[in-house]
């Protein structure tokens, strides 16, 4: 919302030479946030009003004219121009030597085809204004000024380009501040100055409008008030300069006096208005009703719109003439031969206007005001003000009286003041202030609250004031938030991390120590990504939580697996020619249950790699991770049918039969789908299950007091027997003194029969009570050998 | 015998002086002091001496043995030093060659900043709670005093799953979930992902992170809100940070405020960084709206509280001078390795 400081000063005495930074700060701190301010024409330098004294053809150029110009200085200056509309005696904007025009271009004296030119004449655009601001000016040519000004005047003062515009951020709870008067009220309260409100007076023509228009509100839920006045003999012409200036400062384009009046009043009061030609109202009947199925309207912007039954419209006997609170119909607008017009000032339900504007994708100045909820009590004063301006501008003849329909028993009960108990003690303890009742009342009075006994009666244009906390806020912001003390919360509290939060930190520390960097990826993916990771068509994981209004297909479903997310990132890094990537994410996955329930949000620890030396580096990372997280009793089994993974290089991790994760090399097709030209690896661990199985308490084991005995053993077995099978057999058979079994060699090739492999282990035995004897070691080794033989492995000869 | 001993001493001295390796020294040790060495051989003949000569020669023999032993030891030490020096000289490295690194991973910059924020709040007695990202409309909006037709719904462009379920647009629904479960005193923060249908550009992302805070107890005042947040801001941005509270509006707090910190760059004079305002907005906060407390069956006459909301990306962007939010989600290792 833009505000003209000049307009503001009509309602409150703010010094002409106020420091705008201080003003912005003060009004921001009382609750109306200033985004920026700008003095009009501040970019212009050294441009004055000049009078053309003479024009002559340039001696060497047909298209140039040499002009003598009086710029109010002792000596006249000479300007060479290509413009064709400059005539002797015209008043023109002169950019003198060393001046700056609106575009930022600097003007200096120089020679044009050999003739001295000491500056430049300006067009409207070069001053940063438009022909809408100065309807007598032309677009392509010099601005011939028809304003009351003198030669030598600063151009900004001469054409009134000297207002200051302030841009406010108005929050949705303050529809009243979408107006000059609303902001003036805030400024007056901020500076403790009176608000000078004006009561509009309409003379009228002594002839009543009664019977000229039949107004009926059919939907009294959505329309609380509809009022209209009628003006005949409309004289459509440009508005006077003062009015155009104000519209311009507020960022509204002047059009003609009638349209400008509706805009002016809307800006001043915050209440939108609409004006339409009475001729086009069939049957002189106005009905405020919901649209019927199939009805259409072509709005002022020339677009034909299909109306839905939810849309509140203004209709005549036969057809819609406006979408209530949003935009009028094209045909009913003001045209050149318009004679009699209806000014409408009505109150529509905010939510309804908001939804209708959204439905038709047309948020207008009117709808953005209505949607926040306006005060029906404003309708009539606004109507009066518009007609007062009609008379002031001599834009038409105003009939006496108005045509009104409203919801409710009487017009003064459409919107009445609420009643809130003023509880000074509660407010003081809530804010930690020590204000007297009188101080509180003084603040509230500035905001036009009234009092009745112990109660505050806030004004009807403040729908946001409903509770004593709202009253406390009004008091706090005028006392000043920053004058209220700052205290610590009384009563001690111990903040702590939960076991799960500590576990997650441990995961992060482990990942970092293992050389994996943390990533953060979008939780939504494209359903096509499931194809990219070769997910079977009938997989349960293809059922995702679907976003009904996604930004795009790529972000349209909530992922059921984080694998595509990390693959996207690996692919990006690969494309960016990063040598390797070791990445992880503690990622959420969203598993739907039923449509009316929230999905399960699972946490997955996922790692993704390229540039890894081999599968066993990956496995080492997984094993070390589980070890660090104190998870020991898990099983690893080869799995050939995990989608996305290489059938011969993938393992599944389980604990007591419960699957806790999977890791392996990804299927070459997956790597290809992501355009990664090398082997890609991943692990996926169910973080919620890891937490379930982690042993949070560690127990110290005494360091061994007796030496260990080690024996190496090499066996030959079928190449398809997993080493884990052999290890398990050894561990099972060896008895309590077995400390560890460590694989140190696997060999296939020369000297080994085809289809067999040679596997070598180092076996360490130790007792905590004594030094083991050779006999004991030998007997253990015998047991181990027997167990190995049972698995089909024989001692290497 | 005396002469013999002197000769041995003489000879040993000469030979030891010439010896240049450990092996040579060992040979000399064996030669003179060994079981079959020359000195031993002489000592074996001691029995043949007269009782008068025996102590004299015995003493001399011991002297010679000690003498040789000493010489031997010092020669050993010399050679060891020489050999050590030679080895050191041979082992000289070009220490400017690069080190062999065990590369550690890097924490994501958002995590680094979030961890710091969590530490600050835990230190001030807050617990950390989590909430669902796919959330009921009721928790995300209605219970927070944002009914279906509220204009605030337009400013938070919401991703809908269906009429009743949304991707949460803020972390504030966690407030409701906590208050439904736990009776005051409550002192929590809840960081997490939030979603808004903003197209991706340098300053917008459809997914970003917020940190919600909530305190509810008897006698919590606006001054407590101010004090707590001032402390937080000073811990995060430094003790000399200047903080101000500016009136604002949120549907679920009343009074509401935005917290600005004085621009670090220009100290309030106005510069490009702070868009000439001298202040940088960092978080939103306010006293919990009585209707919100009522929605959670907490009596607003008995309890009061405050809430706050902070955008993580913006804090991290300022911290590291990152000008493009997309970098956080592209996860280029060249970006990640900088933190």
- Contact residues, chain B, for A583 at CB < 8 Å: 331, 333
Any idea which of A209-213, A488-492, A532-536, B102-106 has the lowest mean pLDDT?
Answer: A488-492
Alpha helices in B19-156 (DSSP H): 22-33, 38-44, 53-90, 109-123, 137-140, 152-155
pTM of the predicted model as reported, rounded to 2 decimal places = 0.87
**Average pLDDT for residues A294-308, to the nearest whole number?**
93
Pair A740, A671 in one domain: no
Cβ neighbours, 10 Å, residue A408:
14
**How far, in Å, CA of B185 to CA of B126, rounded?**
11
In a domain, A702, yes or no: no
Q: Report whether pLDDT(B155) > 70.
A: no
Q: Cβ(A692)–Cβ(A756) under 8 Å?
A: no
- In this structure, chain A runs to a length of 797
Q: Chain B window 144-183: which residues touch A at a Cβ cutoff of 8 Å? A: 148-152, 154-155, 159-162, 164-165, 167
Predicted confidence (pLDDT) per residue in A401-435, tens digit: 999 999 988 998 999 999 999 999 999 999 999 99
Computed over every residue of chain A, the mean pLDDT equals 94
- The answer to whether the Cβ–Cβ distance between B290 and A546 falls below 8 Å is no
- The answer to whether the Cβ–Cβ distance between A469 and B289 falls below 8 Å is yes
A29–B contact, CB cutoff 8 A? yes
Distance from CA of A295 to the nearest CA of B (A): 25
Strands B279-288 and B304-311 turn out to be antiparallel
Question: Can you give the CATH number for the domain in which A455 is found?
Answer: 3.30.56.10
Over pLDDT 70: what percentage of chain A?
A: 100
A613–B contact, CB cutoff 8 A? no
Q: Report whether pLDDT(A106) > 70.
A: yes
Q: Which of A490, A517, A549 is opposite residue B160, by nearest beta carbon? A: A549
In a domain, A200, yes or no: no
Strands A397-398 and A450-452 turn out to be unpaired
Predicted confidence (pLDDT) per residue in A387-398, tens digit: 999 999 999 999
Question: Residue A574: which pLDDT band, with cuts at 50, 70 and 90?
Answer: very high
Predicted confidence (pLDDT) per residue in A444-465, tens digit: 999 999 999 999 999 999 999 9
Predicted confidence (pLDDT) per residue in A636-675, tens digit: 999 999 999 999 999 999 999 999 999 999 999 999 999 9
Nearest CA in chain A to B159: A549
In a domain, A9, yes or no: yes
Pair A466, A533 in one domain: no
Residues forming beta bridges with residue A738, ordered by sequence position: A765
Pair A250, A316 in one domain: yes
Predicted confidence (pLDDT) per residue in A501-518, tens digit: 999 999 999 999 999 999
Can you say how many angstroms the Cα of residue B102 is from the centroid of all Cα atoms in its chain? 17
Predicted confidence (pLDDT) per residue in A30-44, tens digit: 999 999 999 999 999
**Average pLDDT for residues A248-267, to the nearest whole number?**
94
In a domain, A701, yes or no: no
Pair A646, A722 in one domain: no
Pair A30, A61 in one domain: no
Pair A678, A601 in one domain: yes
Q: Which of A354, A472, A573 is opposite residue B255, by nearest beta carbon? A: A472
A431–B contact, CB cutoff 8 A? yes
Q: Cβ(A542)–Cβ(A553) under 8 Å?
A: no
Predicted confidence (pLDDT) per residue in B56-84, tens digit: 888 888 888 888 889 889 988 988 998 89
Q: Which of B134, B270, B276 is opposite residue A590, by nearest beta carbon? A: B134
Q: Chain B window 203-262: which residues touch A at a Cβ cutoff of 8 Å? A: 206-207, 215, 217, 219-224, 226-228, 230-231, 244-249, 251, 254-257
- The answer to whether the Cβ–Cβ distance between B291 and A467 falls below 8 Å is yes
- The answer to whether the Cβ–Cβ distance between B230 and A596 falls below 8 Å is no
Which token pair is B292?
Answer: 């919100």
Predicted confidence (pLDDT) per residue in B157-169, tens digit: 899 999 999 999 9
Residues forming beta bridges with residue B217, ordered by sequence position: B304
Q: Chain A window 168-207: which residues touch B at a Cβ cutoff of 8 Å? A: 171-174
Alpha helices in A457-549 (DSSP H): 468-479, 499-513, 528-532
Cα torsion for A203, A208, A212, A214, to the nearest 10°? 100
Q: Which of B128, B206, B254 is opposite residue A551, by nearest beta carbon? A: B206
Q: What residues make up the domain containing A752?
A: 709-795
Cα torsion for A600, A605, A611, A616, to the nearest 10°? -120
**Average pLDDT for residues A215-222, to the nearest whole number?**
96
pLDDT for position B154: 66
**Average pLDDT for residues A128-139, to the nearest whole number?**
92
Q: Report whether pLDDT(A478) > 70.
A: yes
Pair A221, A256 in one domain: yes
Q: Which of B159, B162, B201 to probe the A interface (max A CBs under 10 A)?
A: B159
Cα torsion for A315, A350, A475, B175, to the nearest 10°? 180
- CATH 3.30.930.10 for domain B109-336: yes
Question: Residue A471: which pLDDT band, with cuts at 50, 70 and 90?
Answer: very high
Q: Which of A368, A383, A413 finishes a domain?
A: A413
Predicted confidence (pLDDT) per residue in B246-281, tens digit: 999 999 999 999 999 998 888 888 888 888 888 999
Question: Any residues with CB less than 8 A from the CB of B9 and at least 6 apart, and which?
Answer: B64, B67, B68
A429–B contact, CB cutoff 8 A? yes
- The answer to whether the Cβ–Cβ distance between B154 and A354 falls below 8 Å is yes
- The answer to whether the Cβ–Cβ distance between B128 and A513 falls below 8 Å is no
Tokens 């008067």 correspond to what residue?
A181
- Taking Cα atoms as reference points, which of A229, A246, A242 lies closest to residue A386? A229
In a domain, A698, yes or no: no
Three-class SS of residue A142? coil
A488–B contact, CB cutoff 8 A? yes
**How far, in Å, CA of A274 to CA of A325, rounded?**
9
DSSP string, A386-399: HHHHHHHTT--EEP
- Maximum Cα–Cα distance across chain B: 130
Any idea which of A212-216, A439-443, B5-9, B197-201 has the lowest mean pLDDT?
Answer: B5-9
- Contact residues, chain A, for B223 at CB < 8 Å: 431-432, 484-487
Three-class SS of residue A358? helix
- The answer to whether the Cβ–Cβ distance between B134 and A545 falls below 8 Å is yes
Predicted confidence (pLDDT) per residue in A317-347, tens digit: 999 999 999 999 988 788 888 999 999 999 9
In a domain, A529, yes or no: yes
In a domain, A785, yes or no: yes
Question: Any residues with CB less than 8 A from the CB of A636 and at least 6 apart, and which?
Answer: A651, A652, A653, A724
Pair A479, A503 in one domain: no
Question: Residue B156: which pLDDT band, with cuts at 50, 70 and 90?
Answer: low
Q: Chain A window 561-600: which residues touch B at a Cβ cutoff of 8 Å? A: 569, 572-573, 576, 578, 581-584, 588, 590, 595-596, 598-599
- The answer to whether the Cβ–Cβ distance between B222 and A514 falls below 8 Å is no
Strand extents, DSSP E, A18-130:
33-39, 45-58, 61-70, 77-81, 91-100, 106-107, 110-112, 115-117, 119-121
Pair A563, A656 in one domain: yes
Q: How far is CA A129 from CA A42, A166, A243, in A?
A: 13, 18, 15
What's the number of domains chain A is made of? 6
Pair A535, A575 in one domain: yes
- Contact residues, chain B, for A498 at CB < 8 Å: 127-128
Question: Residue B17: which pLDDT band, with cuts at 50, 70 and 90?
Answer: confident
In a domain, A780, yes or no: yes
Pair A616, A656 in one domain: yes
Q: Chain A window 343-382: which residues touch B at a Cβ cutoff of 8 Å? A: 350-351, 354-355, 358, 371-372
Strands A524-525 and A600-610 turn out to be unpaired
Q: Which of A173, A351, A515 is opposite residue B249, by nearest beta carbon? A: A173
Pair A398, A333 in one domain: yes
Which token pair is B319?
Answer: 């911290």
**How far, in Å, CA of A632 to CA of A276, rounded?**
82
Residues forming beta bridges with residue A214, ordered by sequence position: A285
**How far, in Å, CA of A97 to CA of A110, rounded?**
9
- Contact residues, chain A, for B289 at CB < 8 Å: 467, 469
């Amino acid at each position: 919302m833009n505000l003209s400081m000049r307009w503001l000063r009509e309602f409150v005495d703010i010094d002409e030479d106020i420091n705008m930074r201080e003003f912005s700060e003060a009004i921001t701190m009382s609750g109306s946030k200033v985004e920026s301010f700008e003095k009009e024409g501040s970019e212009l330098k050294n441009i004055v009003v000049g009078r053309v004294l003479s024009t002559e053809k340039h001696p060497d150029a047909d298209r140039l004219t040499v002009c003598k110009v009086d710029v109010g200085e002792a000596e006249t200056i000479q300007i060479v121009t290509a413009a064709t509309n400059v005539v002797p005696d015209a008043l023109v904007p002169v950019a003198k030597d060393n001046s700056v025009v609106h575009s930022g271009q600097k003007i200096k004296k120089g020679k044009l085809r050999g003739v001295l030119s000491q500056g430049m004449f300006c067009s409207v655009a070069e001053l940063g204004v438009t022909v809408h601001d100065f309807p007598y000016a032309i677009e392509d040519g010099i601005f011939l000024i028809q304003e009351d000004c003198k030669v030598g005047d600063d151009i900004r003062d001469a054409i009134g380009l000297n207002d200051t515009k302030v841009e406010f951020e108005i929050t949705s709870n303050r529809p009243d501040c979408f107006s000059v008067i609303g902001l003036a009220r805030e400024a007056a309260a901020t500076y403790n100055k009176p608000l000078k409100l004006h009561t509009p007076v309409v003379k009228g023509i002594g002839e009543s409008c009664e019977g000229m228009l039949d107004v009926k509100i059919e939907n009294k839920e959505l329309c609380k008030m509809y009022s209209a006045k009628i003006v005949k003999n409309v004289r459509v012409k440009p508005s006077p300069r003062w009015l155009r200036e104000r519209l311009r400062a507020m960022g509204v384009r002047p059009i003609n006096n009638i349209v400008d009046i509706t805009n002016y009043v809307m800006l001043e009061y915050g209440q939108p208005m609409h004006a339409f030609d009475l001729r086009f109202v069939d049957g002189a009947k106005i009905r405020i009703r919901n649209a019927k199925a199939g009805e259409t309207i072509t709005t002022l912007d020339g677009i034909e719109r299909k109306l839905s039954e939810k849309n509140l419209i203004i209709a005549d006997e036969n057809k819609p003439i406006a979408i209530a609170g949003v935009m009028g119909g094209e045909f009913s607008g003001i045209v050149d031969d318009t004679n009699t017009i209806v000014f409408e000032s009505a109150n529509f339900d905010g939510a309804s206007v908001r939804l209708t504007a959204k439905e038709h994708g047309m948020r207008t100045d009117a709808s953005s005001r209505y949607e926040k909820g306006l005060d029906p009590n404003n309708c009539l004063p606004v109507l009066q003000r518009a007609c007062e301006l009609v008379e002031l501008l001599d834009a038409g003849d105003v009939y006496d009286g108005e045509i009104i329909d409203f919801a409710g028993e009487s017009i003064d009960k459409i919107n009445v003041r609420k009643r809130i108990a003023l509880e000074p003690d509660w407010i003081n303890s809530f804010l930690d202030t020590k204000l007297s009742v009188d101080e509180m009342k003084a603040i509230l009075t500035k905001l036009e609250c009234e009092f009745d006994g112990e109660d505050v009666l806030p004004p009807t244009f403040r729908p946001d004031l409903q509770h004593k906390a709202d009253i406390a806020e009004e008091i706090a912001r005028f006392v000043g938030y920053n004058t209220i003390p700052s205290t610590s919360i009384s009563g001690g509290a111990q903040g702590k991390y939960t076991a799960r939060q500590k576990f997650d930190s441990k995961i992060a520390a482990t990942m970092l120590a293992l050389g994996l960097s943390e990533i953060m990826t979008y939780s939504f993916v494209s359903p096509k990504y499931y194809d990219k990771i070769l997910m079977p068509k009938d997989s349960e994981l293809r059922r995702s939580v679907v976003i009904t209004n996604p930004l795009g297909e790529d972000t349209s479903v909530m992922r059921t697996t984080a694998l595509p997310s990390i693959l996207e990132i690996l692919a990006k890094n690969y494309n960016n020619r990063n040598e390797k990537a070791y990445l992880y994410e503690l990622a959420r996955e969203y598993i739907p249950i039923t449509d009316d329930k929230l999905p399960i949000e699972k946490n997955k620890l996922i790692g993704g790699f390229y540039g890894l030396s081999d599968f066993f580096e990956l496995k080492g990372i997984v094993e070390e991770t589980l070890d660090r997280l104190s998870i020991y009793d898990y099983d690893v089994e080869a799995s050939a049918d995990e989608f996305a993974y290489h059938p011969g290089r993938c393992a599944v991790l389980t604990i007591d039969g419960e699957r806790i994760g999977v890791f392996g090399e990804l299927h070459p097709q997956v790597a290809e789908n992501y355009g990664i030209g090398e082997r890609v690896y991943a692990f996926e661990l169910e973080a919620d299950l890891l937490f379930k199985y982690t042993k949070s308490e560690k127990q110290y084991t005494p360091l061994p007091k007796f030496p260990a005995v080690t024996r190496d053993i090499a066996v030959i077995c079928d190449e398809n027997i997993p080493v884990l099978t052999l290890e398990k057999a050894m561990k099972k058979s060896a008895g309590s003194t077995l400390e560890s079994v460590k694989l140190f060699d696997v060999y296939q090739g020369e000297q080994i029969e085809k289809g067999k492999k040679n596997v070598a282990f180092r076996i360490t035995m130790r007792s905590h009570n004594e030094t083991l004897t050779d006999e004991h070691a030998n007997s253990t080794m015998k047991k181990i050998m027997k167990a190995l033989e049972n698995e089909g492995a024989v001692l290497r000869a | 015998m005396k002469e013999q001993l002197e000769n041995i001493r003489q000879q040993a001295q000469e030979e030891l002086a010439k010896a240049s390796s450990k092996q040579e020294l060992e040979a000399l040790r064996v030669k003179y002091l060994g079981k079959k060495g020359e000195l031993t051989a002489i000592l074996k003949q001691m029995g043949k001496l007269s009782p008068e000569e025996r102590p004299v020669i015995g003493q001399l023999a011991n002297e010679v043995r000690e003498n040789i032993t000493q010489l031997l030891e010092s020669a050993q030490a010399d050679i060891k030093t020489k050999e050590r020096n030679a080895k050191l000289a041979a082992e000289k490295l070009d220490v400017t060659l690069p080190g062999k690194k065990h590369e550690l991973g890097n924490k994501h910059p958002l995590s680094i900043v979030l961890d710091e924020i969590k530490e600050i709040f835990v230190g001030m007695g807050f617990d950390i709670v989590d909430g669902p990202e796919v959330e009921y409309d009721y928790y995300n909006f209605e219970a927070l005093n944002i009914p279906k037709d509220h204009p605030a719904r337009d400013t938070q462009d919401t991703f809908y799953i269906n009429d009743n379920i949304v991707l949460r647009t803020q972390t504030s629904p966690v407030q409701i979930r906590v208050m439904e479960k736990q009776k005051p005193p409550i002192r929590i923060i809840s960081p997490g992902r939030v979603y808004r249908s903003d197209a991706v550009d340098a300053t917008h992302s459809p997914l970003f992170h917020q940190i919600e805070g909530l305190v509810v107890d008897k006698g919590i005042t606006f001054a407590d809100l101010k004090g707590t947040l001032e402390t937080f801001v000073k811990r995060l941005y430094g003790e000399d940070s200047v903080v101000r509270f500016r009136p604002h509006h949120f549907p679920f707090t009343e009074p509401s405020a935005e917290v600005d910190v004085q621009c670090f760059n220009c100290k309030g004079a106005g510069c490009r960084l702070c868009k000439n305002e001298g202040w940088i907005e960092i978080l939103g906060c306010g006293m919990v709206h009585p209707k919100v407390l009522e929605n959670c069956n907490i009596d607003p006459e008995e309890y009061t509280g405050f809430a706050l909301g902070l955008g993580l990306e913006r804090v991290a962007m300022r911290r590291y001078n990152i000008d493009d939010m997309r970098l956080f989600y592209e996860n280029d290792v060249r970006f990640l390795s900088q933190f």
